[in-house]
Chains A and B, each alone.
Chain A
Amino acid sequence: EAGVTQFPSHSVIEKGQTVTLRCDPISGHDNLYWYRRVMGKEIKFLLHFVKESKQDESGMPNNRFLAERTGGTYSTLKVQPAELEDSGVYFCASSISGTRGEQFFGPGTRLTVL
């Protein structure tokens, strides 16, 4: 069974540009989460989808971040315009229906904003 996949693995952009990260969860997983780890700090929750609906987006830093999950399958996280402090590793995770199941993480996208 394929695990959670993320694309791209790395992205280097200039401040002010736009970047879109993609996450493909494990097939059949209704729950999809986005997390971010800034260098040397903890992994921080950004938002949670249940199917195509945003269940909780309390962790989104500001309105420069937009997440979507079309049809309840893959998800995208767009940063527009990117700022220096957006640099970090963005992880996606998915879990089966219901609450508090094991979350399977993707390999992450390392975003560097110059």
Chain B
Amino acid sequence: GENVEQHPSTLSVQEGDSAVIKCTYSDSASNYFPWYKQELGKRPQLIIDIRSNVGEKKDQRIAVTLNKTAKHFSLHITETQPEDSAVYFCAATLGGSQGNLIFGKGTKLSVKP
């Protein structure tokens, strides 16, 4: 079946450094790619998303890039802060579905002060 691969599974950075999380997807029909942040004990929250007609999107310290040819998208966090520590999930829509998402396994990001 279709899947989304996410790397790395854990990532530790110093406060102020950048963090990059990468995902690849298998369904060439996927056209919506959200990123969710889940803090310990809390619900997943959307932090940024990108649609297939755009190559890059930025929101303050967070950016996402998409390469449809390679079926690859990445999350970039600059100037990391301790409160960025969480599990991050990438996802892609399942083909022509109305929003059904396929998730990666998550990346646990730790930002050390």
What residues of B have a CB within 8 angstroms of the CB of A103 in the complex?
A: 34, 46, 99, 101
Contact A107 B32 (CB under 8 A): no
Binding site for A on B (CB under 8 A): 4, 6, 31-32, 34, 36, 42-46, 49, 51, 89, 91, 93-94, 97-106
Contact B101 A45 (CB under 8 A): yes
What residues of A have a CB within 8 angstroms of the CB of B94 in the complex?
A: 45
The 5 A-B pairs at the shortest CB distance, nearest first, are namely A43-B103, A100-B32, A42-B105, A107-B43, A99-B98
Type the 1/0 row for A8-45, where 1 means its CB is closer than 8 Å to any CB of B. 00000000000000000000000101010000111111
User: Considering only CB atoms and an 8 Å cut-off, how many residues of chain A contact the other chain?
Assistant: 28
Shortest Cβ distance from B80 into chain A, in angstroms? 23
- Given known pairs A31-B99, A48-B98, A100-B31, the reply for A42 and B104 (CB within 8 Å) is yes
